[in-house]
Structure 1
Amino acid sequence: MQEITIRRPDDWHLHLRDGAMLQGILPESARDFARAIVMPNLVPPVVTGADAAAYRDRILRALPEGATFEPLMTLYLTEGTDPADVAAAAASGLVKAVKLYPAGATTNSHGGVRDLDKVMPVLERMAAIGLPLCTHGEVTDPEVDIFDREAVFIDTVLSPLRARLPELRVVMEHITTEEGAAYALEGGDTLGATITTHHLIINRNHLLVGGIKPHYYCLPVAKREAHRLALRRAATSGDGHFFLGTDSAPHVDALKEHACGCAGCFTATNTMPLLAHVFEEEGALDRLEAFASLNGPAFYRLPANETRLRLVKSAAPHAFPEKILTEAGPVTVFNPGFPVHWHVES
């Protein structure tokens, strides 16, 4: 197959940052994606409906002229979050989900949740109104190995929470393990799971063998090859539990290439060609639309996009930019480490 046309995709987990970084990297997502669930872990975080409205306005002002891109806003769950404010923001149509960051789990998560009991009134209200909870599914106990944090989160946090509030709609964001994929598959219609582009391509060897590769460092960290293959099977299965959330996370090079480098892979620029490559390798190009364009809207109870996106395969590899230059500094684009012959036809 030399070309494929699908409904325009959405990104169900995206970091747009703010200020000069937002201005520089927003066009990279707006080019191919119609909508995106926008992460709230700014400094300070997006905690209230008013915060979300102000952030949405800043995003819309930063859009290139003529771009058609809808930011779907989220709130950052804290132990002081007001259930009434969450319900009002959801009822207005502004907020589409609330994000659970265990305190200290990832970038700008220090204000996250330490005691789940303290946010149960919020979660109970969300369950009652059908508002999804997006979870960064890792425990932060220093005694738990970083490669085991997702599996332990499922056993000790997510399973008990869903048993306590079975009607709560939950998205397991950026799953990285066989255990995560298996749990999502058996989760019924109240559970979904996003999978990133980069976790379909890299395993922990890419990060560590031959020297540390800071631009492959992300959280959750890439796992063993068996887990990567399990994610590929899930993403390419067509099963409605799984949908695209890139977790595209820009950091300037100076903060990635650092003694304590930031976590995140920036994949907004080349995600769709990379996915076409992966799905072609798996003999599943006919299921790319389900993963990138259909399953996510179905879970979030939104219509699929009516516009289309066309991917074309060429004989020569397609050249993607190495970096996106922003007023905040250069941001390195994720390099898959192999030639990519697919591109989005503009």
Structure 2
Amino acid sequence: MMTRLTLRRPDDWHVHLRDGAMLAGVLPETARHFGRAIIMPNLVPPVVTGADARAYRDRIMAALPKGMDFTPLMTLYLTEATDPADLARAAAEGLITAVKLYPAGATTNSQSGVRNFDNVMPVLEKMAEIGLPLCIHGEVTAAHVDIFDREQVFLETVLDPLRARIPALKVTLEHITTSQGIDYVANASGDIAGTITTHHLMINRNHMLVGGIRPHYYCLPVAKRASHQQALRKAAISGNSRFFLGTDSAPHTDETKESACGCAGVFSATNTLSCLAHVFEEEGALDRLEGFTSLFGPARYGLPVASQTITLEKRDTAVPYPAKIDTGAGPVTLFDPGHPLYWHVLDA
């Protein structure tokens, strides 16, 4: 039985760090284990220009505790007013790594997102020309579409036509939650990949709803049936380089989660690697964990694999993770997988 595993230092290809006091509170939780991370731009106001991205990157680096080694990979929030020239300059300067597409109203702070895709075609064409990846929150927001079907309908009515229209566009379908999403990314022609979150590998909608509503499992895209969870697990352990880790770790204070209209988001930065080792061990695939966490993402974004390594060790007793992370913005509940975790990251 394997009890120790050394990996190239992982990266997180989808994380929310927020801003201000929340940023200062949660950034160390990501930077402790991850060398780089794609930073989501859905602040209020959103990060829409190169100047916005530079300023946000500076705030992240100012909040990074002394002695921590971490590189934020910045993104721009795509709006119908995005300037293709500004975007291209930011990419040429190495200031941004990708652009994020939120359908308007799809998730937290997405009100400034895209409503009419015709209006962003010049930007997407410029991105295809310069090879800048588009990271997509793949859900439709039409009121008549059931929330559990939003991803599948997006694939059929938005993503497939969009990729046919601009076949050279480099697309990452983020936080896939359905077997249809997995099948699409695995089998589509062209330049496409997909991220999978920690929590979607560990929970399905029963965990959120059976026996009472558990608000800290509520996220968008919402967790689906157990059959979809199994499809995600199969993809994550497959060794297919189109699939890699994007935690979508998304902190909200307990006050905003535990309310009559609670916010969507699961905070998992602190215990993600323990959770993933648990999942991959359950699936008999610990030898493929490094590809998912550390190799496939850098290849996707044209970056070198980390030179540093981390080592995970399986304990005889459960790892004592805190229930909450205290931040200057308020307490944030850590993702609870519902069972003990025995894998932990050894201190360097």
TM-score category, normalised to shorter length: over 0.9
After superposition, where does 1:212-251 map in structure 2 within 5 Å?
Answer: 212-251=213-252
Cα distance, 1:189 vs structure 2: 5.3
> What residue is the counterpart of 1:63 in the other structure?
64
Does the 8 Å CA contact 2:168/2:190 hold for their aligned counterparts? no
Partner SS, residue 121 of structure 2: helix
Cα distance, 1:188 vs structure 2: 4.0
After superposition, where does 1:17-96 map in structure 2 within 5 Å?
Answer: 17-96=18-97
Runs of 4+ in 1 over 4 A off after TM superposition: none
Structure 2 letter corresponding to 1:18: D
Structure 2 letter corresponding to 1:74: T
> What residue is the counterpart of 2:131 in the other structure?
130
Partner SS, residue 97 of structure 2: strand
- Deviation per CA, 1:38-71: give whole Å up to 9, x if none: 0000000000000000000000000011100000
Structure 1 letter corresponding to 2:205: R
> What residue is the counterpart of 2:303 in the other structure?
302
Cα distance, 1:187 vs structure 2: 2.7
After superposition, where does 1:1-346 map in structure 2 within 5 Å?
Answer: 1-188=2-189, 190-346=191-347
Partner SS, residue 79 of structure 1: coil
CA distance, structure 1, for counterparts of residue 346 and residue 188 of structure 2: 37
Partner SS, residue 336 of structure 2: coil
- Deviation per CA, 1:117-138: give whole Å up to 9, x if none: 0000000000000000000000
- Deviation per CA, 1:154-180: give whole Å up to 9, x if none: 000000011111110000000000000
Partner SS, residue 95 of structure 1: coil
Q: When the two structures are superposed, what TM-score results if normalisation uses the length of structure 2?
A: 0.99
Does the 8 Å CA contact 2:167/2:190 hold for their aligned counterparts? no
Partner SS, residue 106 of structure 1: coil
- Return closer, same or farther for 1:3/1:9 CA change in 2, 3 Å cut-off: same
Gaps of 5+ in 2: none
CA distance, structure 1, for counterparts of residue 310 and residue 93 of structure 2: 30
Structure 1 letter corresponding to 2:276: L
- Deviation per CA, 1:283-323: give whole Å up to 9, x if none: 00000000000000101011110100100001111110110
Structure 1 letter corresponding to 2:256: L
Structure 1 letter corresponding to 2:22: M
Q: When the two structures are superposed, what TM-score results if normalisation uses the length of structure 1?
A: 0.99
CA distance, structure 2, for counterparts of residue 115 and residue 250 of structure 1: 29
Partner SS, residue 325 of structure 2: strand
- Deviation per CA, 1:103-125: give whole Å up to 9, x if none: 00000000100000000000000
What is the percent sequence identity of the aligned residues?
Answer: 68
